[in-house]
Structure 1
Amino acid sequence: MAKDLSAKDIERAKFVFSIYDFEGNGTVDAYDLGSCLRSLSLVPTEKVVEKLGGQKKKGQKKLKVDEFLPLYAECKKDKDIGNVEDFTEVLKLYDKNENGMMYYDELKHILQTLGEKLEPTEVEEIVKDCAEAPDDEGLTTYTLFLKKLMAGPYPGDED
């Protein structure tokens, strides 16, 4: 198994694995690898999931729990996910008046086009949940948006 995981980590990982074992045969489709990892409170990008062996189409590869646990351990070690301060520095580039505000539509555009691309429906859901409605000038507070976005909730936070 994965030597870097605690007994509790292994227990949680096996439980999540069992949930995604839709056929009940002790395997999980590699297409669901990212979902499994995210269910364990991790935030891998699609690129990381692909690097770990995740597939873009169902039925191409199956993972057994003994194959999944090392992938979980590897992903769990990756701490390079950024924080509120890092993302604030990036969004300051779009703060024309240097007052903590940016155009709401520009925020949506950034989410949809930079980094790992999001679908328009995903962007709409994120800004609806995390951003303040734009003011009369079309501006929103990006620091509040980032704090809400980074705060979660994430699966497993209730532990």
Structure 2
Amino acid sequence: MADLSAKDIERATFVFEIYDFVGDGTIDAVNLGDCLRALNQNPTLAIIEKLGGTKKKNEKKLKLDEFLPIYSQVKKDKDQGTFEDFLEALKLYDKEENGTMMSAELSNMFLALGEKLTDAETEELLKDCMEPEDDDGFTPYEPFLKKLMA
């Protein structure tokens, strides 16, 4: 936790207090991932579970002094991927090397790869972030990725 700056601790405390719905100085471990994402981190569900997050409400409570080391550990983790990493991955689907990919392939990635999203989650994500597709079903992927990561 020594690697957290005073500003990091201030921001983490603020987020923690927002998720302390009862006002007793604790957060429900089911909200651990939401807290970390509110702090601009991107942990996977597996990492959240490994760090003490739960899938059910009221199974476990975390105090601020337990949360800060978790935040510190996630903040140090470099395996979250950067914009450039994701851009390179999407370029694999750019058959014509013109900055576009099939919208259907983009949708399929969210439904089938990694931590799979539901149909409804995928539909909402694409609606919010994807540019209109052209007549052939292609969409530019760089603006999509920028909106997704914002």
Q: Provide TM-score, normalisation by structure 2.
A: 0.91
Q: Give the structure 2 partner of residue 108 of structure 1.
A: 107
Question: Which range moves more in the overlay, 56-65 or 39-48?
Answer: 39-48
The alpha-carbon deviation at position 58 of structure 1 amounts to: 0.7
Aligned to 1:156: none
Report how many aligned residue pairs link the two structures: 150
Q: Which runs of 5+ in 2 are unaligned?
A: none
Alignment partner of 1:146 is 2:132:
no
CA shift, 1:148, in A, is 2.7
Question: Greater relative contact order (Cα 8 A, min sep 6): structure 1 or 2?
Answer: 1
Deviation at residue 33 of structure 1 after TM alignment: 0.4
2:22 is the counterpart of 1:5? no
Aligned equivalents of 2:65, 2:104: Cα separation in 1:
45
Residue 60 of structure 1 is matched in structure 2 by 59
Distance 1:49 1:13 in 2: 16
- Tell me the secondary structure at the aligned position of residue 37 of structure 2: helix
TM-score normalised to the size of structure 1?
0.86
Query: Residue 83 of structure 2 aligns with which residue?
Result: 84
Q: 1:39 is aligned with what amino acid?
A: A
With over 3 angstroms needed to count, the CA separation of the structure-2 counterparts of 1:74 and 1:124, relative to structure 1, is same
Q: Distance in 1 between matches of 2:81 and 2:116?
A: 17
Runs of 5+ unmatched residues, structure 1: 153-159
Deviation at 1:25, TM superposition (A): 1.3
Aligned sequence identity (%): 62
What is the SS of the residue equivalent to 2:27?
Answer: strand
Moved more, 28-37 or 73-82: 73-82
Distance 2:138 2:15 in 1: 41
Change (3 A) 1:16 1:84: closer
Letter in 2 for 1:57: K
- Separation (CA, whole Å) in 1 of partners of 2:58 and 2:131: 41
